[in-house]
A and B are shown apart, each in its own frame.
Chain A
């Protein structure tokens, strides 16, 4: 099995607030991220697809096609957007790395028909990221 990874970057704003909690609880749990005016990040997304190379093309999937899927599903939805207000798939969820990576998985998984989505890794900054896998797939390509 081959793992193939493509990276894209997008910039978006967000803030963390749970309307079911009091302002004091929101501030205690989310700290600076609770600022209602929001703040932004340059997100880096790494999408990893698993599969066997096609004997004719030598490719797991056509990178052009993956690029178009990422453009349509992720860039157009999230780049230069406010994640709390402009991305319906995140409605009702706190837009943490964990939740955004899961939403991106759910958007991409049905669209990738050559090979299989293996991992979505979303960096909010170089020091913080979330990974989303199929349960049981294991990290770093381990079976």
Chain B
């Protein structure tokens, strides 16, 4: 019966970072019109919450899909160390030429965490504030669509 069930593990992490939404492809007025106050030249910040969901076999010896200490240290190294208390625009190379919207942030975090060795990364959900959240489960090319 168990083989007909699928178990996923979800873990939430938090980081705080600043960003500014501004596109080099738009002029000043267009940037202001599209991004509104998020285009303020000095930027602003959020307390982001990132929900990481993994799937895989539950190891009968440990009862776990993945060891949490391994997951935490992987996420620490690949995400938190590089995003927490940073400017996404200035400090994260992926956002030099890409607007650091939370949509793009989901994709960037997915790319960074998908090589976690002990389980399959199913999806990333990012809450920018308590009212906005975004989710990314990889592209068809990543074999993540059922």
Are B11 and A134 in contact, with the CB atoms below 8 A?
no
Q: Collect the chain B residues with CB atoms within 8 Å of residue A98's CB.
A: 7, 9, 58, 63-65
**A interface bracket (residues with beta carbon within 8 Å of B):** 20 to 34
The verdict on A1 contacting chain B, using a C-beta distance below 8 Å, is no
Q: What per-residue 1/0 map shows which CB atoms of A19-35 lie under 8 Å from chain B?
A: 01100000001110000
Tell me whether A43 is interfacial, beta carbon within 8 Å.
Answer: no
Q: Which residues of A contact B6 (CB under 8 A)?
A: 132-137
Contact A29 B63 (CB under 8 A): no
Contacts of B135 in A (CB 8 A): 140
Most chain B CB inside 10 Å of its own CB: which residue of A105, A131, A138: A131
User: Do the beta carbons of A132 and B5 come within 8 Å of each other?
Assistant: yes
Task: State whether the Cβ of B27 lies closer than 8 Å to any Cβ in chain A.
Answer: no
B10 touches A129 (CB 8 A): yes
Contact A135 B3 (CB under 8 A): yes
Known A-B contacts A102-B2, A106-B1; the reply to A131 vs B8 at CB < 8 A is yes
Report whether over half of chain A's contact residues are helix, strand or loop; otherwise say mixed: mixed
Residue B63 contacts which of A95, A128, A140, A142 (CB distance < 8 angstroms)? A95
* In the complex, chain B residues whose CB is within 8 Å of the CB of A87: none
Is A99 close to B, CB under 8 A?
A: yes
Give Cα distance in the complex from A102 to B64, angstroms. Answer: 12
Q: Pick the contact of B62: A94, A126, A127 (CB < 8 A).
A: A94
Nearest Cβ on chain A to B3's Cβ, whole angstroms: 7
Chain B CB within 10 A, most for which of A21, A29, A30, A96: A96
Q: Which residues of B contact A (CB under 8 A)?
A: 1-13, 53, 58, 60-65, 67-69, 122-123, 135, 137, 146
What are 24 residue pairs bridging A and B, where the CB atoms are less than 8 Å apart in the complex? A18-B62, A21-B61, A31-B69, A93-B63, A96-B58, A98-B64, A99-B58, A99-B63, A102-B2, A102-B58, A105-B5, A126-B12, A128-B10, A128-B12, A129-B9, A130-B9, A130-B65, A131-B7, A131-B8, A132-B6, A133-B8, A134-B4, A136-B146, A139-B122
| 6 nearest A-B pairs in the assembled complex, by CB-CB distance | A94-B63, A96-B63, A127-B12, A131-B8, A129-B10, A99-B63
